[in-house]
Amino acid sequence: MHECRGRISSLLFLVFLGIFPSNPEVFAMDTLTLSSSAFKQNGPVPSKYTCDGADVNPPLAINVVPAGARSLALIVDDPDAPAGVWVHWVVWNIGANTTEIKENSVPQGAQQGLTDFRDRKYGGPCPPSGTHRYFFKLYALDTVLTLGPAATKPALDQAMKGHIIGQTELIGKYSRK
């Protein structure tokens, strides 16, 4: 009992000094985030950003990149595809100071790899049936990657090992009419 009181007293002291935040939401504000003005988390992806529309990437907002980040990487994939995870976009060496990826664009200096469409560009949601989830996964890295233009998601995953200092994801859903 005495040991528990000692830990609580130490924690309260840290809160008092302002070293340890008393509000757990403060931690959430200090975390890498990815959002879109086109759709909300777990919301429907507008058809404009799919194979049924203009098939361009949606606008993405990046916030709270970790201090030690030298670059960012983005992977968009569909884990609900009939043949297994389907890769829609692979982008790396996005500048660590990037705060947005505009609609139908790639940040200057970033590189795109091969998707499962066998293309080096964004390929929007295009599920054969039902509603699929599309994961927009953003990684903050402590390095700049050296990958060739034919790199795929597995190559990017391998290159990122040991270099991820932050990550987040935004999930959108889509079903064809």
Tens of pLDDT, residues 68-100: 999 999 999 999 999 999 999 999 999 999 999
pTM over 0.85: no
* Candidate CATH numbers 3.30.390.50, 3.90.280.10, 3.40.50.2000, 3.30.390.30; the one for domain 31-174: 3.90.280.10
| Enclosing H/E stretch for 13 | helix 2-17
Q: Are 45 and 78 in contact (CB under 8 A)?
A: no
Q: How do the domains of the chain map onto residue ranges?
A: 1-30, 31-174
- Judged on CB neighbours under 10 Å (0-12, 13-18, 19+), 161 is exposed
Look-up: residue for tokens 């007293």? 9
Q: Are 168 and 138 in contact (CB under 8 A)?
A: yes
Q: Which positions ≥6 away from 88 have C-beta within 8 Å?
A: 76, 77, 78, 115, 116, 117, 122, 123, 124, 125, 134
Overall size of the chain counted in residues: 177
**Residue-averaged pLDDT of the chain:** 87
Tens of pLDDT, residues 138-153: 999 999 999 998 999 9
Q: Give the single-character DSSP code of 49.
A: G
Beta-bridge partner residues of 35: 61
CB atoms within 10 A of CB 146: 10
pLDDT of residue 30: 64
Q: Are 86 and 78 in contact (CB under 8 A)?
A: yes
Q: What's phi and psi for 111, nearest 5 deg?
A: -120, 145
Tens of pLDDT, residues 165-174: 999 999 999 9
Q: Average pLDDT of 23-49?
A: 80
